[in-house]
């Protein structure tokens, strides 16, 4: 068991809680246990964000005409597509954070940058996208960040 005490300058009393673990204190000193706890908390926060921002729902019912294998295959495909979408959104969020110098949640990114009207037109071999006025706020910053990206080394 590890006692964690967080002192904040604005609070009268410190915030304290216990981490109860069966890890050996000889192999895992308090600092290492706290680091593991924080990693787990970060991973759980990402999973919660994935579920709330992408509204991820996996089916457990066969709906009468599907086999269990069909349901599992559909769930696997939905989960993989959602994870790819989350990775793209997370990358765009990191670009916006780097370019604006402030934190961005996926919900804020979705509402302020991605949720804009667009008109598509086709010309010969081109498809053009014209973004609505609402895009003037976040898209210039996003495009500037995308232009600065470098390819990953092989």
DSSP-derived 3-state class of residue 152: coil
Phi and psi, residue 38, nearest 5°: -65, -40
* Domain presence at residue 74: no
State yes or no: pLDDT of 81 exceeds 80.
Answer: yes
Residue 25 has pLDDT above 80, yes or no: no
Pair 34, 42: CB distance under 8 Å: no
Cβ–Cβ < 8 Å for 32, 40: no
- Does residue 30 sit within a domain? yes
- Number of domains the chain contains: 1
Q: Is residue 31 part of a domain?
A: yes
**What are the counts of helices (DSSP H) followed by strands (DSSP E) for the chain?**
4, 4
Higher pLDDT among residues 42 and 105, named by residue: 105
Q: Is residue 3 a part of any domain in this protein?
A: yes
Please give the full DSSP string across 17-37, using - where no structure is assigned.
EEE---S-TTTS-HHHHHHHH
Instruction: Give pTM, 2 decimals.
Output: 0.58
Average pLDDT score, the chain: 80
| Residue range of the domain that includes 2 | 1-54
| Domain presence at residue 10 | yes
Is 8 among the domain residues? Answer: yes
* pLDDT at 121 (0 to 100): 93
Instruction: Judge whether 107 lies within some domain.
Output: no
More confident residue, 111 or 121: 121
Report the percent of the chain where pLDDT is more than 90.
Answer: 3
> What value does the mean pLDDT take over residues 130-153?
81
């Amino acid at each position: 068991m590890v006692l964690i005490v967080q002192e904040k300058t604005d609070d009268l009393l410190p915030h304290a809680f216990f981490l109860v673990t069966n890890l050996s204190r000889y192999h895992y000193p308090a600092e290492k246990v706290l680091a593991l706890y924080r990693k787990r908390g970060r991973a759980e926060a990402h999973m919660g964000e994935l579920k709330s921002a992408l509204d991820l729902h996996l089916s457990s019912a066969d709906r009468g005409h599907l086999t269990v294998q069909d349901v599992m295959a559909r769930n696997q495909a939905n989960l993989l597509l959602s994870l790819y979408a989350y990775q793209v959104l997370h990358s765009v969020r990191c670009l916006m954070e780097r370019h604006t110098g402030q934190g961005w949640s996926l919900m804020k990114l979705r509402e302020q940058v991605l949720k804009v009207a667009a008109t598509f037109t086709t010309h010969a071999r081109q498809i053009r996208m014209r973004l609505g006025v609402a895009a003037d706020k976040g898209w210039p910053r996003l495009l500037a960040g995308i232009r600065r990206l470098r390819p990953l080394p092989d």
